[in-house]
Chains A and B, each alone.
Chain A
C-alpha cells in the first residue's frame, strides 16, 4: 500500500545527544517565549479592530479564498524554511546536534498555545494592524507545519546512499546540480507525504485561530474559521453547515487536485531498482501530461534559467576539484563562529532568566490548579487514544482483510483524517449545550474526531499488508480466534498501529488546547485541564500561567515521546517488521 514510509523514517532517527543539548534547547524555548511575550505585552494597548463577519452563504467563497491564501502562504514559507533548515543541519556537523534537538522539541510543542503572544508580537511588528494579525495567524500555521517537513528533508539527506554521493562528487557536481539532481529528487516523496500531514494540521489550526479573544480584545480575520465561529455564536445552523461543507469541499478538492497528482508524479523519484506493480494513479496528472505545452514548456524555461548557472558553476573552484566526503571535522572554527555562539548563549541565558522570574509570580494554588489540569488532560488524551484504537483496530482489520472494501474505505479515511476536527467542534458544542453535557466528555469527543481517522487509515493499511500466505497458514492450522489475533493480526499491524497512534497522540495534545475551554453564545464552557488553563490564562492575560502551562504540556509530550512512543517505534521497526 501507499503508506507514508518516509514519515515513519523521520520518527525513528537514533539520536545520541548529551542531555545538556536538551537543556540548552529548553532554555532557548524559554527565551523565545519570553521574547515573544514581552514584545507582545509592550504593544498590548494598541487598538485592533474586528473584521465583521457576514453569515450569508454568498460570502462564503470570499472567506474560503482568504483562508486558502493564508494556508498557501504559510505552506510555502514552511517548505522554504524546512528545506534550508534541513540542509544546514545535514551538512554542518558543528550545529547539527543542536538543530536536531531544536526540531525534536519544537515538533512536540502544541503550537496553539503560542497563539496569544504571537499575535501580540506580530501586531506590534507591523503597524498596519491587518497585516499584523494576518502574519500572526500565518506564523502560527507555519510553526505547526514546518517541523515535520524539516525533519523529513533532513533525514532524507542523511539517508542518500553513499555511492550516489560519491558519484556526485567524482563527477564534480556543483552544489546547485547536486541539489536539483540528487538531494531534491531523493527527498521528494518524503516531502510530499509530510506536506499532506502538515497542511491537514494547518487547517486544524487555521479554523481555530482566525477568531479569538484575549482579555478584553477580540481578534477576527475574514475566513472560514471566523465564519464557522460566528455562525455558532449566532446559532445559525444553516450557515454553520454551509461553512463545514465548504471546509470539506476544500479538503477533498486539495486531495484530488493537488495531492493525488503530486503523489502519482513523485512516483518517479522512488529509489528502487525494479518498477513496482502498484502505482497511484491520478486522472488530473494524466490530463496535465497529455497537454503538450505543459509537458515541455516549463522544462524549456527552466533550461534557460539553468544553463547559465551550470556554465558559471563549472568555472568555480568547487567544480574543478574532487572534494573528499570525509573532510576533517576538526578544522578550527572561525572566530566569528565563536563570537556568534557566545552572543547567542548570553542572550538565551538572559531571556531564560527573565522567563524564570516571570514564573516566580506563580502562587501555590495556581500550581495546584495546573498540576490537576495536567493530570486531567493526560488522562483525557490517552482515553481518546484508547477509545480510537478500541474501535478502529477491529474495524480497520475487518476492512483491510476485505480488499474490495478497503479500496473504497481507505481513501475516505485518508480524506477524513485531513478534514480539520475544529470545523466540527461547534456542532458538537451546540449538541452538548442542548443535552446539558459538560465539556469533560465534549473535549474527549473532539480529540476523537481528530485522532481516530489516522489510526483507522493506518490499521487498514497494516491489515492489507499482512501477507496472504501467513493468513493461509493460520487457517490451515485452524488457529483459534484468539491465536489468530495474538499471533498474526496484532503483530502484523503493530508498526502501522504505532505510526497511527503517534500521529494521533500529537493531534490529541494539540486539540486539548482548544477543546477544554470554549465560548458559545456568551457562555464560557470549561473543564479541568491544561488546555483550559492555557485558554483561561489567555483570556485574562496571565502570561506567567500561560508560560508554565505551555511548558508543562510540552514536557509531557516530550516525555511521552521519549519514554513510550520512540521505544514502541523501535520495537515496530525491528521485531515486528514484515520483510517485504
Chain B
C-alpha cells in the first residue's frame, strides 16, 4: 500500500454545525423490574464529523453499544438529543448503515438478496437494484458467490456480505459494532486492511466511519480519532486525534506508545488520564459514583492464578500490552483478570505496568490447596459481596440463603443482567475458595458440608 493522505481536519474541535451526527448531553437509563433505574450512560457530548474514522473504545459495561444505538436512532436517549445535520434524529431522514458483530444476515436469503434488501426498502427499481448490488458484491470481493446462502460461507466471507449490504445504500456514516471480533485473527487482519483501502482510496462514498471495538490495537490501527469510555456509568474518559500516518506500523514506537497509553487509561479508572503521547488533548474525567458493591470482574480464579504465574516468570513486572500480546488476549479478556487480581490485592498497576504484590507472589508460588486458602482470605477481606454471602450463611440456622436475597441487593446498583452475572462470578469464586456452594436446582446458596464447622470456627476467631 502506498502512503495515503489522511484527512486530518479533525484535530481542532470542529464547529458543531459541521458534524453529521451530534449527540448533545445524551443520557441513558434502563428501567429495572424493581422500579430502580440504572444509569448506563451519563450526560455525554459526541460528534461525528466528515472525513474521520472514529473509534469508540471501552471495557465491557461502558455502554459502547448503547452509544452506537443512540447515535443511529435505534435507541432513544433518556435525556438529551441526537441531531442529524442539525435536525433531531427522530425526524430526519438519515442515511447510515451498521455492520454487526453477529453479521445479522438473513440466512434464508442468498448473498445477492441480502445485499439487495436495503435497496428494496428504499424503493429502488429492480434493474438498478441488481446492478448496484452486483457492483458492491464485486467491490468486497465476493464475485461469484451471489447465489450462495450465508451458511455456506466462512465467517470472513459472511462479514464481507455484511459490508456489501451496509455499503450498497451509500451511507454517509458507516457504523461498525465490533465487526471483526467474531472472526479469527488472520481473517480479521485481512478485512481490516481491505476496509482501510476502500476508505483511503474513496472507493466507498462514506463520509465518516464510527467503529465500536474492544481491541486497542485495532483502534490505533484504523482510527483518526479515539474516544475511550469509562464505566459505571458510561462516560468519556479521553478523546484524542491520532497523527500517525497510514499505513501504520504495529512495531513502531509511536504505535506501541499509544497502545500503552490507552492501556494505562483503561486500567486506572480512578485516575484522570494524562495527555495522549505526542498530541495535545483535553482529558476529561468525572468522579465515579459512590458504589456500595465493587463490580466483580468476570474472571475465573484459574485465570487469575495463571496470569500471576506468568507474571512471576517475567520477574514480577511487565507491560500490560505485552502481556496481552503474549497471551493473544484482547482487552476484554485480560482486563477482568487484571481487575480481579487487583481487587484481591495480588497485583498493582503502576504506569501501565502490571506489578505483582508480595501476597500475589506467595499466591502464585503456592500449590493448589494453599492457593485456595489464600484466595479465600483475600476474597473475604476484599470483596464485600462474598463476605456478605458468607455472613448470611453463617447467620441462618439452616445455612442456606436464596439467590433472590442477594439479587435484590445488587439490583439497586446493577442492571438485571449484570446482577445475574455478578452472582454467577461470586458463585465461581465462592466455590473455588470453598466459602460456600450453590444449589442451582433450588437457586440457593448453601454451606459446603465438609468445611462447614472448620470455617465457622475460624470465622468466629477473626
Q: Do these two chains really belong together in a complex?
A: yes
Judge whether B156 is part of the interface by a CB distance below 8 angstroms: no
Write the A462-474 contact mask toward B (1 if CB under 8 angstroms, else 0): 0000000000000
Complex: chain A residue closest to B109, CB-CB: A181
Residues of chain A within 8 A of B117, CB atoms compared? 171, 173, 177, 181
Judge whether A167 is part of the interface by a CB distance below 8 angstroms: yes
Q: How far is the CA of A245 from the CA of B304 in the complex (A)?
A: 69
Say yes or no: A326 contacts B76, CB within 8 Å: yes
Q: Which residues in A have some Cβ–Cβ distance to B below 8 Å?
A: 161, 163-164, 166-167, 169-174, 177, 181-182, 185, 268-275, 303, 307, 310-315, 319-328, 571, 574-575
Q: How far is the CA of A326 from the CA of B93 in the complex (A)?
A: 19
Q: How far is the CA of A574 from the CA of B439 in the complex (A)?
A: 13
Say yes or no: A166 contacts B118, CB within 8 Å: no
Q: Which of B93, B121, B152 contacts A174 (CB 8 A)?
A: B121
Judge whether B97 is part of the interface by a CB distance below 8 angstroms: yes
Q: Which of B76, B92, B121, B123 contacts A171 (CB 8 A)?
A: B121
Q: A166-B69, A166-B100, A170-B97 are in contact. Are A270 and B107 (CB under 8 A)?
A: yes
Judge whether B101 is part of the interface by a CB distance below 8 angstroms: yes
Q: How far is the CA of A312 from the CA of B120 in the complex (A)?
A: 11
Interface size of B in residues (CB-CB distance below 8 Å): 38
Q: How far is the CA of A242 from the CA of B98 in the complex (A)?
A: 62
Q: A172-B121, A173-B121, A274-B151 are in contact. Are A167 and B108 (CB under 8 A)?
A: no
Residues of chain B within 8 A of A174, CB atoms compared? 121
Complex: chain A residue closest to B97, CB-CB: A170
Q: Which residues in B have some Cβ–Cβ distance to A below 8 Å?
A: 69, 72-76, 89-94, 96-98, 100-102, 104, 106-109, 117-118, 120-123, 125-126, 149, 151-152, 165, 169, 440-441
Q: A174-B121, A319-B121 are in contact. Are A275 and B76 (CB under 8 A)?
A: no
Q: Which of B104, B126, B152, B440 contacts A167 (CB 8 A)?
A: B104
Say yes or no: A324 contacts B121, CB within 8 Å: no
Say yes or no: A163 contacts B151, CB within 8 Å: no
Most buried by B among A177, A274, A320, A321: A321
Say yes or no: B94 contacts A163, CB within 8 Å: no
Q: Which of B73, B98, B120 contacts A310 (CB 8 A)?
A: B120
Q: How far is the CA of A483 from the CA of B118 in the complex (A)?
A: 57
Q: How far is the CA of A167 from the CA of B165 in the complex (A)?
A: 10
Complex: chain A residue closest to B169, CB-CB: A171
Say yes or no: B93 contacts A273, CB within 8 Å: no
Q: Which of B93, B98, B104 contacts A320 (CB 8 A)?
A: B93
Q: Which of A170, A312, A328, A574 contacts B74 (CB 8 A)?
A: A170
Residues of chain B within 8 A of A271, CB atoms compared? 107
Known: A177-B117, A322-B94. 5 other contacts (CB 8 A): A170-B98, A173-B117, A272-B151, A324-B74, A328-B76
Residues of chain B within 8 A of A268, CB atoms compared? 107-108, 149
Tell me how far the C-beta of B90 lies from the nearest C-beta in chain A, rounded to whole angstroms: 7
Q: How far is the CA of A174 from the CA of B125 in the complex (A)?
A: 16
Say yes or no: A166 contacts B149, CB within 8 Å: no
Chain B facing A: main interface SS: loop
Can you identify 23 A-B contacts, CB atoms within 8 angstroms?
A: A163-B101, A166-B98, A167-B100, A170-B72, A171-B97, A173-B117, A177-B117, A177-B121, A182-B106, A185-B108, A307-B125, A311-B125, A314-B121, A314-B123, A319-B122, A321-B73, A321-B93, A322-B89, A325-B75, A326-B75, A327-B76, A571-B441, A575-B440
Residues of chain B within 8 A of A328, CB atoms compared? 76
Tell me how far the C-beta of B112 lies from the nearest C-beta in chain A, rounded to whole angstroms: 14
Say yes or no: A167 contacts B98, CB within 8 Å: yes
Closest 8 CB pairs of A and B: A314-B123, A171-B118, A322-B73, A163-B104, A167-B104, A185-B108, A320-B93, A324-B76
Residues of chain B within 8 A of A163, CB atoms compared? 100-102, 104
Complex: chain B residue closest to A170, CB-CB: B98
Q: Which of B90, B149, B151, B169 contacts A321 (CB 8 A)?
A: B90
Residues of chain A within 8 A of B126, CB atoms compared? 303, 307
Residues of chain B within 8 A of A575, CB atoms compared? 440-441
Q: How far is the CA of A185 from the CA of B117 in the complex (A)?
A: 14
Q: How far is the CA of A170 from the CA of B126 in the complex (A)?
A: 21
Tell me how far the C-beta of A269 lies from the nearest C-beta in chain B, rounded to whole angstroms: 5
Q: How far is the CA of A388 from the CA of B160 in the complex (A)?
A: 53
Q: How far is the CA of A307 from the CA of B104 in the complex (A)?
A: 24
Say yes or no: A170 contacts B96, CB within 8 Å: yes
Residues of chain B within 8 A of A320, CB atoms compared? 93
Residues of chain A within 8 A of B92, CB atoms compared? 321
Tell me how far the C-beta of A570 lies from the nearest C-beta in chain B, rounded to whole angstroms: 11
Residues of chain B within 8 A of A173, CB atoms compared? 117, 121
Complex: chain A residue closest to B28, CB-CB: A326
Tell me how far the C-beta of A226 lies from the nearest C-beta in chain B, rounded to whole angstroms: 43
Say yes or no: A324 contacts B73, CB within 8 Å: yes
Residues of chain B within 8 A of A275, CB atoms compared? 151-152
Say yes or no: B75 contacts A324, CB within 8 Å: yes
Q: How far is the CA of A275 from the CA of B152 in the complex (A)?
A: 7
Say yes or no: B106 contacts A164, CB within 8 Å: yes
Residues of chain A within 8 A of B97, CB atoms compared? 170-171
Tell me how far the C-beta of B278 lies from the nearest C-beta in chain A, rounded to whole angstroms: 36
Q: How far is the CA of A171 from the CA of B99 in the complex (A)?
A: 11
Complex: chain B residue closest to A167, CB-CB: B104
Q: How far is the CA of A275 from the CA of B72 in the complex (A)?
A: 33
Q: A166-B74, A315-B123, A325-B75 are in contact. Are A272 and B94 (CB under 8 A)?
A: no
Complex: chain A residue closest to B93, CB-CB: A320
Say yes or no: B98 contacts A177, CB within 8 Å: no
